[in-house]
Amino acid sequence: MENTIFKLIKLKYWKEDPQYPEFDVIDETIGYFSSLEKAEYRMRRHIPGKSQRLFGFLIVEYALDGEWILPTESRRSYLPDGSAWDENLLSETPKEGYSSENFPNSEIFLGRPADKVRFKKGDIVEVLRYDTTVNLAIITQLPLSPERVEAESKSDSRFLLFSEDDCYRIISYEGNPSWQEAVYVFPTRFPVSDEMRDKLEGYWFDATCEEEDNDDDNENVITYGVCFGPKKFDC
């Protein structure tokens, strides 16, 4: 997209010996760049030796010359060795015929293909929150597929999803359910204790049983997405 800049962020461990279920990271802005290639080039220059502890990198693309203050166009996450991990998936062009004072020329989320879904239900993962905290969680639902998004869009022309809707449903180690953007969900990199694993899997089991109970009553619906008015669909 024209008229964008790319912000490179380095994420470092706050302590030398991070441990689950939660640890802090420091977000350090390296700089702003005119292209993704230049941001990635500079990122590779900041990959440390084995003696240093690095959580990873983020590259966030912002749009310029608009009425919003730096609206986000794309987000990408990288592992400590600089390899690309994930990115939010948006259409390359705005939704045809869609214009709004709040979302001018907005690119939309059209669903995450199966080959781009890195986890399955029941996987234990790391979740980066607010670029400063990482905690353990378990996956309970996957991002919507392109087929599901297309079906919903056909049934309701007002149905719209944006970058924030490209997400997994998770339950944290504290038992709190939430939706987390896919770009901020990482594989575990340290050993997970048997006690913590049993705790998280217990949350998943309870959530699965609750969904099955709701299915029996035909009430298994959730609110999801940015749209005009409430929009619900089956899990």
**Tally of structural domains, the chain:** 1
Helix, strand, coil shares of the chain, percent, nearest 5, are: 20, 35, 45
Per the listing, tokens 């990115």 go with 87
pTM as predicted: 0.81
Determine the Cα–Cα distance for residues 53 and 18; give it in Å rounded to an integer. Answer: 10
- 125 lies in which domain range? 4-234
Q: What string of pLDDT tens digits covers the 235 residues of the chain?
A: 568 899 999 999 998 889 999 999 999 999 999 999 999 999 999 887 654 689 999 999 988 876 655 567 788 999 999 999 999 866 544 455 444 444 554 567 778 889 999 999 999 999 999 889 999 999 999 988 888 888 877 776 666 676 678 889 999 999 999 999 999 999 999 999 999 999 999 998 888 776 655 554 444 343 444 433 333 333 3
